[in-house]
Structure 1
Amino acid sequence: MGFVGAGRMGLPMVRQLCAAGHDVRALARSDAARHALEQEGVTSFSEAAPVATGADAVLVCVFTDEQVRDVCLSGPVLEEMPPGSVVVLHTTVSPGTVADVAERAGPRGIDVVDAAVSGGPHDIAAGRLTVFAGGPDTAMERVRPALEAYGDPVLHVGPAGTGVRVKLVNNALFAAHIGLLAEAVRLGTRLGVDERTLLGALPHGSGASRALAGAAARGSVEAFTTSVGGFLGKDIAVVRRAVAELGGDLGALGDALSAVPSGAGTRTR
């Protein structure tokens, strides 16, 4: 199988795929990336075409919509993949991007699975990354063994495009938790409770959440927000665009997002 995007998230995925016995070819445009892949026993190429040629599946784990479009719509990946193969999109993109890739892939006999993920490199290494996957049943069964090399649970949530929709809701809710937590810390301060003390105590109560656990580990809401801001801010921008295109708004979620410290890039409404 082919792999495009062997970076912070992608490289540990490649490791897990190799450990599970999959034969992986990966794109490596820099000497550092090529060296990292070769250390894992992966065949690397400086161009995308040989990564996709004859591959039963190509997994794409880049960062933005634009990069997915460059790989799948402007680049040679779909042109080189054979009929009956599957392109898997791990990037959190807009539903429109998934639809555009599927429109280009379909006439070539290529299925699209959008497999948005929740978790980090440590979850990949432990084989417990959450995968929200959308796509045809038959395509899901073909790529499930690969996804299960690093994902547990691997959740098939509907047709193509549904995976990213679930992920966008997930990240909007997660960011809203951070916004509510920031408000809770402000309330605690007004009541005379130090933030670090509050964050140390609340995870043991009924208000616990993953956002709260992360903030407690970092010692402050602002520090936690800064640590996740680059990824979370990008995804929240995607969900805002998707909702705006539907002519709606985020309702109470939007109110909570407005309280998120600026490190997550979510304050602009």
Structure 2
Amino acid sequence: MRVGFVGAGRMGAPMVRRLVDAGHDVTVLGRTPEKLAAAEELGATPAGSLAELSRDADAVVVCVFTDEQVRQICLTDNLLGAMRSGSALILHTTGSPRTAEAIAVRAGAHGIDVLDAPVSGGPHDIAAGTVTLFVGGDDDAAQRVRPLLSSYGDPVLHVGPLGFGQRVKLINNTLFAAQIGIVAEAVRLAARLDVDEATLLSALPHGSGTSRALDSIARVGSAAGFIDAVGEFIGKDVAVVRATVADLGSDLGLLDEVVDAALSPETIR
């Protein structure tokens, strides 16, 4: 496939590498000489503008950090206006389902399919081709871009119509944050019982109380250290899910309190 790619950074760069290695024709946006050179190093064709990037693309992938950046690129900077009819827009950024829905309204006028496909995992998972993708959107469009997504995603899970990729991802991240918060509470309990944190973290991954969050914290060596490392990303996603569930007339329920513990490393130092 001919793929345009916006956002070849920490997460996007290994995606581009996997796409190129899988035989896709990839063009990457680079608005500085350094970014253009980085695109070439990944084996992609550099492009200096969204119009150049998307002119002949079968699909354009957007993998930036925030919802606001997605809106800026797709709506304000008019990526949609530069894309050709019949192509697909894939949004990997974790954000509000409302953003994907708003973009899809504009995209429909141009004959463009929109898929929200947030990822669960990190750059090492992408590089290994094992990052999880939660895909929301039209069935036919999802099938059409599966060869692209399968270059770096496994499993690629089609979880419902447009916006449902974001809904599932935000629930996933809230649960992960809650699990981090539970581990943080367990570390506080250990301190009250005079159990050393390092000893606790070496033992618990072998017990029935283990989780992916606990395993990740154990590899870092402390709950506070792990929260320091991931707090920015988890905090962004939790803020989005709180705003989203409020917009939908709901709340986080019992998850709310333990999520707060995951965002406060100073309370477990």
Correspondence 1:123-134 to 2 at 5 A = 123-134=125-136
| Corresponding position of 1:101 | 103
The secondary structure found in structure 2 opposite 1:259 is helix
Match of 2:17 among 10, 15, 24: 15
- Note if contact 2:6-2:29 (Cα within 8 Å) is conserved in structure 1: yes
Gap change, CA 1:93 and 1:261, over 3 Å in 2: closer
| Corresponding position of 1:267 | none
Compute the displacement of 1:55 (Å). Answer: 1.2
Compute the displacement of 1:118 (Å). Answer: 0.4
Compute the displacement of 1:261 (Å). Answer: 4.2
| Corresponding position of 1:145 | 147
Compute the displacement of 1:218 (Å). Answer: 0.7
| Corresponding position of 1:257 | 259
Match of 1:161 among 160, 163, 177: 163
- Note if contact 1:54-1:80 (Cα within 8 Å) is conserved in structure 2: no
Compute the displacement of 1:263 (Å). Answer: 5.1
Q: Deviations over 1:157-199 (max 9, x none)?
A: 0011000100000000000001111111111111111011101
Match of 2:83 among 64, 68, 81: 81
Q: Deviations over 1:119-176 (max 9, x none)?
A: 0110011000000000111101111001000000000000110001000000000000
- Note if contact 2:131-2:152 (Cα within 8 Å) is conserved in structure 1: yes
Match of 2:45 among 43, 46, 58: 43
Inter-partner Cα distance in structure 2 for 1:144 and 1:102? 19
- Note if contact 1:27-1:47 (Cα within 8 Å) is conserved in structure 2: yes
Q: Which moved more, 1:237-246 or 1:17-26?
A: 237-246
Number of residue pairs matched by the alignment: 264
Inter-partner Cα distance in structure 1 for 2:32 and 2:230? 26
Name the amino acid aligned to 1:14.
Answer: V
| Corresponding position of 1:119 | 121
Asked whether 1:185 is paired with 2:180, we answer no
Q: Which moved more, 1:255-264 or 1:241-250?
A: 255-264
The secondary structure found in structure 2 opposite 1:157 is strand
| Runs of 4+ with deviation above 6 angstroms | none
Inter-partner Cα distance in structure 2 for 1:96 and 1:111? 16
What CA RMSD, in Å, does the superposition of the two structures yield over aligned residues? 1.2
Inter-partner Cα distance in structure 2 for 1:35 and 1:203? 43
- Note if contact 1:222-1:261 (Cα within 8 Å) is conserved in structure 2: no
Q: Which moved more, 1:75-84 or 1:147-156?
A: 75-84
- Note if contact 2:118-2:165 (Cα within 8 Å) is conserved in structure 1: yes
Inter-partner Cα distance in structure 1 for 2:26 and 2:172? 30
Inter-partner Cα distance in structure 2 for 1:263 and 1:240? 20
**Tell me, which stretches of 5 or more residues in structure 1 are unaligned?**
265-269
Match of 1:172 among 168, 171, 174: 174
- Note if contact 2:54-2:60 (Cα within 8 Å) is conserved in structure 1: yes
- Note if contact 2:17-2:43 (Cα within 8 Å) is conserved in structure 1: no
Q: Which moved more, 1:219-228 or 1:35-44?
A: 35-44
Asked whether 1:243 is paired with 2:242, we answer no
Inter-partner Cα distance in structure 2 for 1:135 and 1:55? 19
Identity of aligned residues (%): 60
Inter-partner Cα distance in structure 2 for 1:263 and 1:257? 12
The secondary structure found in structure 2 opposite 1:124 is helix
- Note if contact 1:182-1:261 (Cα within 8 Å) is conserved in structure 2: no
Asked whether 1:24 is paired with 2:1, we answer no
Gap change, CA 1:195 and 1:263, over 3 Å in 2: closer
Q: Which moved more, 1:34-43 or 1:155-164?
A: 34-43
| Corresponding position of 1:91 | 93
